[in-house]
Structure formats: C-alpha cells, structure tokens
Amino acid sequence: MRPRPSWGWQDAAACRGEDLVLFFGPDGERQPEREIRERKAKEICAACPVRTDCLDYAISRPEKYGTWGGLNEDERASERRRRMRRANAA
C-alpha cells in the first residue's frame, strides 16, 4: 500500500485558485487549443515555489492526466522513465 500523500505543498502552489480547466483540459479538446492551454498552465508552473514537490507527487502516483509541475502527460511519462533508468543505474 502506498503511503498517504502529503498535500501541504499545495497551500503554496501558484495554481491555487486558478481554474482547473487550465490544467486539466476539457473532453474533446482540439490540439491547437490544448497547446495554448498547456502553455498558459506551464507559465504559472514556471513561477511556482512548489513546482518540484508537485512534479514529484505526480510522477510518484502516477497522475495520468493534466499539467503537474510544469509537465504534461507525455512529458511526465518521459521524466518517469528517465528517473527509473537513473535509479536502476545507481
């Protein structure tokens, strides 16, 4: 069983109070709209004081949807693989 996550970092998140649709796009979203939405979400993440905590949480779960810690789903999958390779090499 996984340990219960600590959510304390969320209190300092730059996205706190933002519209969730910015980070988790609507069903049926087209690619051009997705790119614009993700760019806006990533701009908020870039200035976030808890970005690393957010990304670590999303990778450890793993969160399948949305922008977390400045990375979208595909980017997090790549980061997860990179971290696993690094851990296996150690």
What residues form DSSP beta bridges with 71? 68
Q: State the residue for tokens 């990375």.
A: 71
Question: Does 54 carry a binding-site annotation?
Answer: yes
Residue 45 known to bind ligand: yes
48 is an annotated ligand-binding site residue: yes
- Residue 6: Cβ-neighbour burial (10 angstroms; 0-12, 13-18, 19+): exposed
pLDDT of residue 1: 57
For the chain, 90 residues long, the average pLDDT of each consecutive 10-residue run is 69 94 94 96 97 94 93 96 91
Measured torsion, CA atoms of residues 6, 84, 39, 17, in degrees rounded to the nearest 10: 0
Cα separation, 16 vs 58, whole angstroms = 16
